[in-house]
Structure 1
Amino acid sequence: MTGRTRTVRCRTVWGVLIEVEIEDLNEFVTPAAVLEQRLVRVNGGTYVYKYVSQAEGKRDPRRYDLLDNEIRAGTRLGQSFGAYPAELACLMAYNIDAVEPFVLLREYIGVPLAGPAARFTDAERRQCERALFRALHLTSQAGVVHGAVTADALRWDNGRVQLVDFESAERVGEARRAGRVAANRSPEQLAGTGLVDAHDDVWGAAVLIRRLHLGPSADAQADRRHDPERLRGLLDPVFGNAAEHRPTPAELLSRLHGDNHLPPYDDPYAVFARGREMFQFVGRGKNGGAAVSTEDPKPVRKRRMFPFLSALLLVSATIVMTAVLG
């Protein structure tokens, strides 16, 4: 497969259909990913191509759900931040309807955290703590819960952290999914009760931070009374409270004197609401003042009735694509 070049259709995080030429480079592996991955080149840039092959999809149909989680999280994050934060994996495009559905993500930074973390100085551990809660501050702002915050899902690059592999991600406010046993999940997540809460990831981060300080033995030490005082002061409010009473990532960042400012943020729901209001206003004029339904329809696959228009839009989107994926 290496060196192969092909043209594929996919959509941006805003749903715009584009056409890109992908050159395969080599296999790519990250410890937290279940899905197959390749490194590819698009418009001179390197990207992570994550996909479900026909063979693996047939063997384990749950892989399609993992890819769907990645897409739902990535589109939400991409729609939320105009200046996209480097602390999070960045979804650039996807195709869920292909025979082998896929996503394209910007190339990750650094290396998996587990390797360098074993050699961390105390200063680097604190730097990692701040960077981790910074990443979770961003996801919580966008209403996304990663769902598997472990060292395997983090990249480290000279003091910078990036959270990747959103295959277990959920949206805040959705019903928690039962039966998931991913590492570092909160008690509420393991039980599959209640609604997804941004505090769920705080629990996972606390487990990870404790492990960074105490090593693998931390997993076997349920009694935290003998933990270092600083560690207890930081993490006891997390472990000692139900989800709704745990500190937020922003609060923990403040305790660590980290950066809790947010990049420019757009609420996608507010953007769509403005569009619906305009649609309703125009619709009332066309219908003699009668209200027009603005309820979001369920997405369905439809046969294209205007192929020429679709082709024209595709050409336009391909031009735009150069700026998006360049």
Structure 2
Amino acid sequence: MKPTDPIVDLDARSFGQHSREALANDSLRGALDLVTTEFADRRARALSLTPDWETWREQARAVKAHTLASLDTYLAQFIERAEANGIQVHVARDRKEACTLVAEIIQQTQASTVVKSKSMVTEEIGLNEHLVAQGLEPVETDLGEWIIQLAGEKPSHILAPAIHHTREDVGHLFHTELGIPETHDVDELTAVARRFLRARFAEAEVGVSGVNFLVAETGSFLVLENEGNARLCTSLPKVHVAITGIEKVIPRLADLDVFLRVLPRSGTGQAMTTYQTLFTGPKPDPNAEGPEAIHLVLLDNG
């Protein structure tokens, strides 16, 4: 795929054929029914235990509406304060510009392997395909995304990218692609993934992540996750490259309070996400932990 090619194949005949094949696949239908029902049940349980849900949701909506009405002001404030914190901010007009910027940053580090945490915006712009075309190796480290990458597929769900694969599918995939004895035991499959991915974390010079929120007041950005891989992607490599849309900006650090209540309950039915990492600049001295450089690509793509 070329960087300028459409990401989604909208050919109606191809869609019809694939739809019929999927509907005839009992294993696939069972997996999708199980997981989607579980997602809905978790969310319903979380909201039933949250009497202030509608109030929180209205507060979050009001913050977003206010921010979008003054987007230029808050973006300018964020960029000014982020750069004062030592974050190197790049503004990309479209996906082509964003992909080119990220590839150039990686090439400047002379890295070949890049570890990535889950990011919908990188899927939107086709970043992996662009990096591969430039001779680079992007390695997805979210378990579901890694499974999809090994299978040569696209994510099928925004929260659970490998939602359409059963444990039997994954066991066979690992056997075929990684050369390990086939197993369908979930704990064993997870251990295999952990072993392979830990080695990639250790050797990568660049880590790529998405962003959940940009805080104009402090010039900070927040990354939320449940697996811990994003924290490894952003703390072990020397260079951290974060990519996000400009709509992620919010005015104040205090505004995070309501979003950190609403987002996990709405998305996964959790009271809070497992890991919440706030970035306010690269490490201040060589003996500190964290990346030596942080690049943030702000994507307009309007």
Tell me if both proteins adopt one fold, taking TM over 0.5 as the criterion: no
Query: In proportion to residue count, which structure has more helix?
Result: 2
Q: Normalized against structure 1, the TM-score is what?
A: 0.27
Q: Normalized against structure 2, the TM-score is what?
A: 0.29
Using CA pairs under 8 Å that are at least 6 residues apart, name the structure with larger relative contact order, 1 or 2: 2
